[in-house]
Structure 1
Amino acid sequence: MSQAKSSNLGYPRIGEKREWKKLLEAHWSGKIDAAELESETKKLRLSYLQKQRDLQAELIPVGDFSLYDHVLDTAFTFGLVPQRFTGGANTAAHDENCNCATGAHDEEAPASADAEAKVFAPGENGAYGLDAYFAVARGTKAFAASPMTKWFDTNYHYIVPELQGLTPKLTVNRPLAFYLEAKEELGIDGKPVIVGPLTLLKLARGIEEGKFDTLLDQLIPLYAQVLKELGEAGATWVQIDEPILVLETSDEDIARLNKIYAAFRAAAPGLNILLQTYFESVSRYEDIVQLPVQAIGLDFVHDRGRNLAALERHGFPQDKILGAGVIDGRNIWRSDLQVKLDLLRRIKQAAGAKELFVQPSSSLLHVPVTTRSEQALESKIRDGLSFADEKLTEIAVLVKALNEGEEAVAAEIAESVQAVAALNASPERNDESVRDALGKLDARRPERLSPYAVRRDVQAKHWPLPLLPTTTIGSLPQTTEVRQARSKWKKGEWNEEQYVQFLHAETERWIRIQEEIGIDVLVHGEFERNDMVEYFGEQLAGFTTSGFAWVQSYGSRCVKPPILYGDVKLLSPMTVTESAYAQSLTDKPVKGMLTGPITIYNWSFVRDDLPRSVVQNQIALALRSEVSALEEAGIGMIQVDEPALREGLPLKHEDWQSYLDEAVYAFRASTTSVQDETQIHTHMCYAEFGDIIQAISDLDADVISIEAARSHGDLVTAFEDGTYDKGIGLGVFDIHSPRLPEQSEIESIAQRALEVLDPAQFWINPDCGLKTRREEEVIPSLKTMVASAVALREQFAKAGAAGGAGAAGGNS
């Protein structure tokens, strides 16, 4: 028997040039029908399988391909379609988590516009069709889409299963269909992939109290039937993903897992199960490795060394195969194959394993397809990159080294060592000016000149704002004309002067619109920005941008994170010209707009040769220079957005405090150089804030705005249970919905918040940026928002409650 086999856990769906995305959007816009969509995506799917075979993958995943999301696919496999889409209760759903850089459920093609409350029925085989599938994913005119949130701590979003009132049933054996397709079309004996039942239920919502195990007992025989049919069809291996096992795992969960996998073994005794985990170390190693499965996959890249320590401490069962995830499935850097080979030997020795599966640490869904398309990058950077295809090649080299000896791949190993060393030795990674600046940072937390209580009074005199001042989050509609102008400039069709003239005209138009609406604190609109992270990555030293390094964020929405490969520093001011021009047009304050260090880090492909804290602090020092330049240019309100602060929390609670301490330090290093009169704002996307409210306060921003319109009641409780003394704007209308808010709704949301917040703290603002919304939606919504603020001020005045100072400390 071979010592090692190469195993892949999942492959990118989108295609080298986003062919998948284009097909989806063509279907949604009515250009191709469902039959053509399915036939064309089948060609893509088969090409991906053939490519993996060509790259010497031995255990090739099938069924990891999706037309939207793999969790949604699993829900549909078991008939878990929300009742409102099938004629049951017409309940609403909402996004649990928005990505400010993209806008939730807002792909580039318009959603289907059902004029009626259409309900969906299963076909004769019990399966729901594509129309129902996309309706749940994207919503219709009548029914809200299912919730969407981040897949663990990645930037991929999954559709949250809604289980209210549902009983699972097997509608179609999706893994079997994909297994047979690969076998019949390509002769590939694939490894079907499916999300495991414990993970599926743990990630779902709407499970009635005490009904979790009832649902699990209903699901187990359905999964068992899927596995039984796979075994009967000749499948050798199946990959069951249970990433939930890297979170806290209770004794009750261990009992459930034993029941689940004992039932699976009984149903399909001839089928081998790879129980796959990823993104962190498993929480109950000794229990997990004893489960009745044939192989267990562990992440040895993002485990913080814990899986390896557990393996060396407790060993590994000799009747199981260890899936060793040693190639990073979430980042884009080439591996030093000598280091990886040494790690594999250490793993093999600790496990006492006769056989290993050499794998990526997770599905390759989270990385771009291939570096072959990146010929425009500098060779030292390109040679240091490894996307999905290159990672499979790395795995093949490691497998050959284990099976045939290191000398069989000596040239490949030496090439990888040289490429990594060359990048590490490059001037861009060894900038002494950056190292000197970091060395001057005090270990103590950076502080503003004065505490907030003093700054509040100073700003009250400096900024004569009314009670409940109004503002927006930053971005304004990016129309087709704005995108076309940027494209013409980048292609050289417009010169710099033409482009700047366009930007100035658009900025002035929106300054006037904001003034006419009556907004108190204005924004310049960010018309020059393609993306809230990529824009800064294009201008800061240490970053570069790729041509085709796209990854799926959700649905057809793809993002192209900047590549942070070197030491970061500010070369020249990035935002001062646009901000100063906007401020010159009005007597009202205009906020300068920056993306914060934690979000830039979290939404980039980041170098892996330095600790997170060091890289964050490099970004922070660059932003600190930009903040100072804005202040010197007369910009007295500066917003440093951190929408990714909460989502970057480690998966294990024991690691939270160090992460939060480092995040607070970096934010404060960015913002504390300013005078007391300068007001620092920040913005965060909705999440559970109650458990990190102290860290939010510790940022010491003068004003924070939080995306909360859809979950306002839940969020307000965080401020009931804790004390927050700084300015705050809880978004009063949902920018992700095309419907226009009613004044009564906005007033109701604000009044609920004002039950627990001092009116002197409270700002009135939308819950997120307005980049993705149409002008005809934005202007009336902002008018209603301002009218609501005026009405609320009048109510306070009549009640004798207007205390004279807004959240900025201004006069009413």
Structure 2
Amino acid sequence: MLKHNLGYPRIGKQRELKKACEAYWSNRIDSPTLFEVGMKIRKENWETQEKANLDLIPCNDFSFYDHVLDMSLLLGVIPESYLSIPINNNLDLYFAMARGFQKDVWDIQAMEMTKWFNTNYHYIVPEFDKNQKFSIFSHKIFDEIEESKKILKSIEKIKPVLIGPISYLFLGKEKEKSFHRMDLVENIVPVYINIIKKLKNQGINWIQLDEPILVLDMSEKEKDVFQYAYNEISRLCSEMNVLLTSYFDGISENMSIFQKVSVQALHIDLVENPYQLKKILSFFSEESKIILSLGLVDGRNIWKNNYFNSVKKIEKAIESLGESRIMIAPNCSLLHVPIDVDNEHFIHIDIKNRMSFARQKIDELNDLEKIVKGDTNILRNNSSLIEESSSIFSDPKIKERAKNIKNQDIQRNNHFHIRQKKQREKFRLPLFPTTTIGSFPQTKEIRNLRNQFRKQEISKKKYDEKIKNFITDAIKKQEEIGLDVLVHGEFERTDMVEYFSDKLKGMLSTENGWVQSYGSRCVKPPVIYGDVSRVNDMTVEWIRFAQSQTNKLIKGMLTGPVTILQWSFVRDDQPIFHTAYQIAWAIREEVLDLEKSGIQIIQIDEPAIREGLPLKKKDWKCYFDWSIKAFRISSSGVKDETQIHTHMCYSEFNDIFKYIADMDADVITIESSRSKMELLNAIFSYPNEIGPGIYDIHSPRIPTVVEMFDLIKKASKKLPIKNIWVNPDCGLKTRKWKEALMSLHNMTKAAKMARIKLIDIS
């Protein structure tokens, strides 16, 4: 029974990669220094996994920005516009594709970015031409194999990881509508075969090909090209052991593929879908000699493994297939969890004893192996721990409120058209009103101030005074720019979820629980360990102060219940929707207190609403039933005149807009600039007001007035002009002030131009 891992966190124990990349982008270090940081992280990761006695250790799971972008470079899928940039090395080309390039006469936008399946990780979307050519362009994978040979004691342990050809094509997009990207399979498979042969020549015996497309509702075309691809790989790379991995759901619906596909091993996710095991065992017991890899350790949550449940699955698989045909592993890459729980020093011991980060999760594989071989003490201790600490904080009143939700709790007083009329009469905003999403640049000065306050080096009074100064300055800047609806800037917040977790009962923040969201952007997901409730005001004081500094409208800024849920590590001892409703009631209380304090516009951000969507359409209705209900609990208690905004970004929304409309927010702001307003085809019938973002905040480039006006014009052809807002794609926290101010100046100019040049013809 082999133990293996699908991928390890790549940011470094102290976010060394983030710091090094940002230093490189600002010309404070050179490329050899950046490469040295990457090499050190890889060495630590490999040594940690070897020390944990893994039989197969992933290689090529490290990335300076994004593993999908790495694949694009490996396969030579580089849009022509980037090849024309005056850049001398592949590293700068790589970062230009991820972040855009703006220098002298060159002004090229970053490639589109979206969510990796139903996670909060973002990937760079590959772009394909009709006659797309593929060839080996980058040698990163081969270089890292040679590097790992010097670190690991046995070459037999090295398992390079690649996104499989069909999932890679699926994750991309066609630049033109005259072809389907799956038609490129015959072009891409020979390159994969060349890569596998080169790896074999380096002495590699196992390769991991990630095909998460297997857990989706695959079309017949996708099934056909999948069979073609793996028949070719099997036929021409017979000496390589191919481990085909699926994760994030079950593959039972697509098992027919394997009647015609031959690979050495198949990995299935028994965390997200434990029920598939029985069907898969019956399929493979007689039909194939395939090795089955059981994904048993949760790579997306931080609770210790329930060994009793996992061992039952292992024993069932061994009984059916035999021990030699079983592998055990986490269900997916450990990219989605923090690195080491031993770096946490201030978490209550009862909670910490239940937690398991990446390093602990690979140790859990050893424990499972020992239990299967007869060590019952480990099993007994684990079962006792889970039973004792499954509900550390319980409040019957909170549980009861979340269970007894009445219809009036999820309905506004009147229909949107009535609310819209009242709000327009009250606010008197111009056509194409301008606003931002919420946050402004988090400078080094602000971060240092927070650290000083956290370490008790300055008093709360001094801290509050400084934050108020930042807010006053931000309001002044917004007034100078000419924005119509202002924000306070969120200077008191480290993160849009972590901030609220520190103020809600039943949640906690970690010290070093960082995970990668995209590129150098790292977040610390909070931990929901008990019943959630609001103790005191969370934002009212800051928003009320901001409103006192201006005659313009200030938006109250809150994070929605679904996003707090999705961007946290959630308790695993009750249904997830119960937790969502508890959070929703807490946010509702804050919304009502903001309204009482005189705030007339309140934004409840839900960027994760799409992210939580089940991967199979048959499960969508159940998800939307509870997730939309949670949002409406939080937003429905206000008067008609109070305008509720929400915000969403960096996911595929085209197929769910009918559900988003059910949220009944007065205004939705949504990402659309990187895709050049592609979602307009889906939202043309959206009934309420909408702000399709007109500039990409995840890139340092400054959009021009003309390009933003063109996007407004594009939107006005699909949407009623009276319903269109003008705003960036997302918050400006990660940008520098100079970039933010220049971009917002251009944005307001574009809005003013639209007010003159565009006529409402609806």
State the TM-score, normalized to the length of structure 1.
Answer: 0.87
For residues 731 and 663 of structure 1, do their structure 2 counterparts lie closer, same or farther at Cα, with a shift above 3 Å needed?
same
Residue number among 219, 234, 237 corresponding to 2:188 in the alignment: 219
For residues 156 and 390 of structure 1, do their structure 2 counterparts lie closer, same or farther at Cα, with a shift above 3 Å needed?
same
Deviation at 1:176, TM superposition (A): 4.7
What amino acid maps onto 1:568 in structure 2?
V
Q: State the Cα deviation string for residues 586-635 of structure 1 (Å, max 9, x = none).
A: 33322211010111111112122222211111110110111111112122
Q: Name the CA distance, whole Å, in 2 between partners of 1:506 and 1:675.
A: 31
For residues 576 and 291 of structure 1, do their structure 2 counterparts lie closer, same or farther at Cα, with a shift above 3 Å needed?
same
**Does 2:45 correspond to 1:76?**
no
Instruction: Report SS of the residue matched to 1:647.
Output: coil
Deviation at 1:318, TM superposition (A): 4.3
* Equivalence map 1:481-630=2 (5 Å): 481-630=445-594
* Equivalence map 1:792-807=2 (5 Å): 792-793=754-755
Q: Name the CA distance, whole Å, in 1 between partners of 2:642 and 2:169.
A: 48
Q: Is the 8 A contact 1:243 1:278 kept in 2?
A: yes
Instruction: Report SS of the residue matched to 1:279.
Output: coil
For residues 456 and 39 of structure 1, do their structure 2 counterparts lie closer, same or farther at Cα, with a shift above 3 Å needed?
closer
What amino acid maps onto 2:380 in structure 1?
A
Q: Name the CA distance, whole Å, in 2 between partners of 1:37 and 1:352.
A: 46
Q: State the Cα deviation string for residues 431-470 of structure 1 (Å, max 9, x = none).
A: 1121122133137871112222332333344333344433
**Does 2:98 correspond to 1:137?**
yes
Is the deviation greater in 58-67 or in 761-770? 761-770
For residues 119 and 355 of structure 1, do their structure 2 counterparts lie closer, same or farther at Cα, with a shift above 3 Å needed?
same
Is the deviation greater in 376-385 or in 36-45? 36-45
Instruction: Report SS of the residue matched to 1:695.
Output: helix
Q: Name the CA distance, whole Å, in 2 between partners of 1:207 and 1:589.
A: 41
Aligned residue for 2:54?
Answer: 57
* Equivalence map 1:68-467=2 (5 Å): 68-87=65-84, 117-120=85-88, 129-141=90-102, 142=106, 143-164=108-129, 166-171=132-137, 174-188=140-154, 189=156, 190-206=158-174, 209-210=178-179, 212=181, 215-282=184-251, 283-288=253-258, 291-303=261-273, 305-311=274-280, 314-316=283-285, 317-351=287-321, 354-402=324-372, 404-405=373-374, 408=375, 410-426=376-392, 428=393, 430-442=394-406, 446-467=410-431
Q: Name the CA distance, whole Å, in 1 between partners of 2:326 and 2:42.
A: 27
Instruction: Report SS of the residue matched to 2:505.
Output: strand
Instruction: Report SS of the residue matched to 2:573.
Output: coil
Q: Name the CA distance, whole Å, in 1 between partners of 2:549 and 2:140.
A: 59
**Structure 2: tracts of 5 or more residues without a match:** none
Q: Is the 8 A contact 2:113 2:650 kept in 1?
A: no
Q: Is the 8 A contact 1:227 1:271 kept in 2?
A: yes
Residue number among 721, 731, 742 corresponding to 2:693 in the alignment: 731
What amino acid maps onto 1:266 in structure 2?
R
For residues 729 and 139 of structure 1, do their structure 2 counterparts lie closer, same or farther at Cα, with a shift above 3 Å needed?
closer
Q: Is the 8 A contact 1:318 1:352 kept in 2?
A: no
Aligned residue for 1:98?
Answer: none
For residues 495 and 204 of structure 1, do their structure 2 counterparts lie closer, same or farther at Cα, with a shift above 3 Å needed?
same
**Structure 1: tracts of 5 or more residues without a match:** 88-116, 121-127, 804-812
Deviation at 1:494, TM superposition (A): 1.6
Q: Name the CA distance, whole Å, in 2 between partners of 1:129 and 1:793.
A: 43
Q: State the Cα deviation string for residues 404-439 of structure 1 (Å, max 9, x = none).
A: 22xx2x22222222222232142x1x2112112213
What amino acid maps onto 1:705 in structure 2?
T
For residues 595 and 238 of structure 1, do their structure 2 counterparts lie closer, same or farther at Cα, with a shift above 3 Å needed?
same
Q: Is the 8 A contact 1:467 1:802 kept in 2?
A: no
What amino acid maps onto 1:277 in structure 2?
S
What amino acid maps onto 2:449 in structure 1?
A
Q: Name the CA distance, whole Å, in 1 between partners of 2:721 and 2:110.
A: 34
Residue number among 707, 715, 737 corresponding to 1:753 in the alignment: 715
Residue number among 10, 13, 20 corresponding to 2:10 in the alignment: 13
What amino acid maps onto 2:255 in structure 1?
Y
Deviation at 1:672, TM superposition (A): 0.9
For residues 318 and 776 of structure 1, do their structure 2 counterparts lie closer, same or farther at Cα, with a shift above 3 Å needed?
closer
Q: Is the 8 A contact 1:318 1:353 kept in 2?
A: no
Q: Is the 8 A contact 2:9 2:358 kept in 1?
A: yes
Q: Is the 8 A contact 2:292 2:326 kept in 1?
A: yes
Instruction: Report SS of the residue matched to 1:605.
Output: coil
Q: State the Cα deviation string for residues 544-574 of structure 1 (Å, max 9, x = none).
A: 1111111122223221111122111001010
Q: Name the CA distance, whole Å, in 2 between partners of 1:702 and 1:83.
A: 41
Is the deviation greater in 355-364 or in 230-239? 230-239
Q: Is the 8 A contact 1:285 1:310 kept in 2?
A: no
Q: Name the CA distance, whole Å, in 2 between partners of 1:795 and 1:38.
A: 50
* Equivalence map 1:637-652=2 (5 Å): 637-652=601-616
| Overall identity of the aligned pairs, in % | 41
Q: Name the CA distance, whole Å, in 1 between partners of 2:364 and 2:167.
A: 30
Aligned residue for 1:633?
Answer: 597
What amino acid maps onto 1:414 in structure 2?
R
Q: State the Cα deviation string for residues 518-562 of structure 1 (Å, max 9, x = none).
A: 433222221111111111111111111111111122223221111
Q: Name the CA distance, whole Å, in 1 between partners of 2:712 and 2:25.
A: 37
Q: Is the 8 A contact 1:153 1:649 kept in 2?
A: yes
Q: Name the CA distance, whole Å, in 2 between partners of 1:726 and 1:16.
A: 45
State the TM-score, normalized to the length of structure 2.
Answer: 0.92
What amino acid maps onto 1:373 in structure 2?
N
Deviation at 1:77, TM superposition (A): 2.6
Q: Name the CA distance, whole Å, in 2 between partners of 1:527 and 1:462.
A: 29
For residues 366 and 794 of structure 1, do their structure 2 counterparts lie closer, same or farther at Cα, with a shift above 3 Å needed?
closer
Instruction: Report SS of the residue matched to 2:474.
Output: helix
Residue number among 30, 40, 45 corresponding to 1:43 in the alignment: 40
Q: State the Cα deviation string for residues 104-152 of structure 1 (Å, max 9, x = none).
A: xxxxxxxxxxxxx4055xxxxxxx7433333333333234333322222
Q: Is the 8 A contact 1:445 1:665 kept in 2?
A: no
Deviation at 1:374, TM superposition (A): 0.9
Is the deviation greater in 700-709 or in 35-44? 35-44
Q: Name the CA distance, whole Å, in 2 between partners of 1:173 and 1:791.
A: 48
Q: Is the 8 A contact 2:215 2:249 kept in 1?
A: yes
Deviation at 1:493, TM superposition (A): 1.9
Q: Is the 8 A contact 1:62 1:193 kept in 2?
A: yes
Is the deviation greater in 524-533 or in 149-158? 149-158
What amino acid maps onto 2:44 in structure 1?
S
Q: Is the 8 A contact 2:436 2:487 kept in 1?
A: yes
Q: Over aligned residue pairs, what C-alpha RMSD do you find? A: 2.7
Q: State the Cα deviation string for residues 155-201 of structure 1 (Å, max 9, x = none).
A: 22222233335422234665454444433443222122222111222
Instruction: Report SS of the residue matched to 2:127.
Output: coil
Q: Name the CA distance, whole Å, in 2 between partners of 1:347 and 1:136.
A: 44
Q: Name the CA distance, whole Å, in 2 between partners of 1:778 and 1:75.
A: 30
Deviation at 1:230, TM superposition (A): 3.4
